[in-house]
Amino acid sequence: MLHLKIHTCFGAGFYLQKPVGIAIFLLLAGASHSQVKDTTLLDEVPVTTTKIRSSNTGKKTQNFDSLTLEMFKDQTLDVLLSFNTPIFIKNYGPGALQTSTFRGGNASQTAILWDGLNIQNSMLGQTDLSNISSSLFNSVEVEYGGSSAIWGSGAMGGAVHLNNTHKLNKGAYTKINTLISSIGSRAAFTDIGYSNSKISFVLKASIIKNKNEYSFYNDSNSITKRKDASYEQLSAMPELKWLINQNNSVQAGAWLTKGLRNIPNFSSIHNKIQQVDGSERMNLNWQHSKNKIENNLKAAYFTELLNYNDSVSRIDSKSTMQTRIIEDDFYFKWHNHHILNFGFNYTKNEGLTEYYNGSKFIERYSFVASHRDLFFNEKLTTNVVIRLEHTSSNLNPLTYNLGAEYIPFKKLLLKLNAGKVYRIPTLNDLYWIPGGNPDLKPEEGYTADGTAEYSTTKEAFDVKLSGSLFYKLISNWIQWVPNSVGSYKPINLQQVYSRGSETSWQLAYSKNKFKVQLKCITSYVLSTVNKTKLDGDETLNKQLIYTPRYTINSSLTLRYKTLAISYFHNYTGYRFAASDNSVWLKPYHYSTLRATYSYQFQKIEVELFGNINNVLNKQIEILDNRPIALRYFEIGVQLNYKQTKKT
């Protein structure tokens, strides 16, 4: 048996068993063969482009432009999403846990994908978005609607794609960014890269140290300052791409994080709660493209660590997780209109904690087939995907996805998408002691959505409009409920029915060196319990907790030469804090003002930036008893140096 041992920053050595070892061997072997030249170039194409393009057929998608990413480069992913999408972020306060609610689902039903690989925590089933720095990625895309047939378990409400595009022949560059804030934050970011005609290397890193001493209104309606919520966070992402020839490329990447977080005390007991977490994610990809054939072979290995300590409750919990992934996607194109895809995915999630009876794992074997076709002079595009999955816990979901796009005339695009989706239970759901339930069934159901997109350009004006309707019906919804002895146990409790609408307006005006851009995104979500297994359950026909019905995000950006000023405003409607809807939180307005100005100093571009958060200085609780910061300020400077490669 082939073993590869990797020593991690956690001080432990983990073994990659035979499947991952074989995949890495195949990657390296495949990269060294096939030296025959062809017209296909693999210069700037991300390794997941073909798969994303296929999955997006018939779906609403949202790519963040470079200006938006620049405005939020010093923020974490939750901030970027909360101001620029209809995704509701469950905000537990600055530096605390941040999770998503997407089209009426929970955080476990949204896939967070790095280079096409799902990074959701296999024990908890969710990702803390506050641990993801936006500065690590130059491409962020939101995919709306169910995608379980393509991305696997958990992609029920949508997916967030995090990628980096490598460009060859760009020479060397360096970016250094520093930031300070009025609540005690000190942060630094760096982005260093070099590329020639064959190799591209990028190293991105960030370090944040925040006292997090923010002001808020307490229960007596007087202003107080938080003193027990400091945190530290370190992230690094080295990536290397090697263009072996015109048909073959290899890309390797790592994503390392480590954090220390003091969790605020909301009770009268003066206890100290601290959480240490970290992760190491590594992937290796071989991409081959020649004539009408493309093949992407991946191997990945993730480790995660979570330590939770509560001094008063005497809880000292340690959890470690490992994920091994092998994935191969083969594409064949013929007659210029048809693309066939056959894919295989092997994933093993393994967890260890004192609350399990030893180490527990789930293995999944997935087989995917899809067909993308063009009709009527490429005005109609269709895509059909089928996924069959077998798991070691005897959960065998069969899913599919149907997508269609039609262009009735040049400026209008119509999209339809439908499919069956699923999410397998987490390791905690199955094996936690006390309460774990190995008899749980996967959450599964059906989704459908339709979108109309209109865009036009006239002289200096650019207009983009879109409207969407969506439907989602999920059965076997997993929920932890109290049992007769006072502990909690997960059961397949409910059927949840989600439906709603989304709209987006964008107006831009450009003339000479002046540009103004106005955006508005609205969302209406009705997500109610349709059926329940509990007699007399008062949640029946009630809205899910912390799922606002109405949200509006708007922004205004003014840009003149190298000066840019943006105002972002968010309105969020009522959120129910009790499952029977007897307790609710008031709607709120939250806004931020961001400005950047750059100038050239010899060979260095100097960029100054500043942010005002909670501009209106509002008292806000996004979640019950979780006040967020009153108005605070951030300022920073970024230095950019670029050495163009000589030809």
Q: Which pLDDT band, with edges at 50, 70 and 90, does 159 fall under?
A: very high
Q: Which pLDDT band, with edges at 50, 70 and 90, does 301 fall under?
A: very high
pLDDT tops 60 at residue 20: no
Half-sphere exposure of 638 (CA within 13 A, CB side): 20
pLDDT tops 90 at residue 4: no
Question: Any residues with CB less than 8 A from the CB of 385 and at least 6 apart, and which?
Answer: 54, 55, 149, 150, 368, 369, 370, 400, 401, 402, 419
Kindly report, residue by residue over 90-146, the tens digit of the pLDDT.
Answer: 988 777 889 999 999 999 999 999 999 999 999 999 999 999 999 999 999 999 999
Q: 51: closest CA among 437, 515, 387?
A: 387
pLDDT tops 60 at residue 51: yes
DSSP 595-618: EEEEEEETTEEEEEEEEEESTT--
Q: Which pLDDT band, with edges at 50, 70 and 90, does 515 fall under?
A: very high
Residue type at position 616: L
Average pLDDT over residues 19-35: 39
Number of CB atoms found within 10 A of residue 354's CB: 10
- DSSP character at residue 442: P
pLDDT tops 90 at residue 89: yes
pLDDT at 271: 67
The answer to whether 438 and 426 are in contact (CB under 8 A) is no
Average pLDDT over residues 490-517: 95
- Lowest mean pLDDT: which of 175-179, 204-208, 431-435, 550-554? 431-435
pLDDT tops 70 at residue 299: yes
Kindly report, residue by residue over 263-289, the tens digit of the pLDDT.
Answer: 877 655 566 788 999 999 999 999 999
pLDDT tops 50 at residue 8: no
pLDDT tops 80 at residue 312: no
Average pLDDT over residues 637-642: 94
Kindly report, residue by residue over 433-485, the tens digit of the pLDDT.
Answer: 988 999 999 999 999 999 999 999 998 999 999 999 999 999 999 999 887 67
Residues in the chain: 647
What average pLDDT does the structure give for the chain?
88
| Domain extent listing, the chain | 4-643
Question: Any residues with CB less than 8 A from the CB of 252 and at least 6 apart, and which?
Answer: 239, 240, 282, 283, 284, 285
Helix (H, G, I), strand (E, B) or coil at 67: helix
Kindly report, residue by residue over 606-627, the tens digit of the pLDDT.
Answer: 999 999 999 999 999 999 888 8
Q: Which pLDDT band, with edges at 50, 70 and 90, does 3 fall under?
A: very low
- Structural tokens at position 621: 């609780």
End-to-end CA distance of the chain: 48
pLDDT tops 80 at residue 568: yes
pLDDT at 470: 98
Average pLDDT over residues 396-415: 93
Helix (H, G, I), strand (E, B) or coil at 19: helix
pLDDT tops 90 at residue 566: yes
Percent above pLDDT 70 for the chain: 90
Q: Are strands 412-423 and 443-458 parallel, antiparallel or unpaired?
A: antiparallel
Q: 308: closest CA among 280, 274, 284?
A: 274
Q: Could you say which architecture CATH assigns to the domain 4-643?
A: Beta Barrel (2.40)
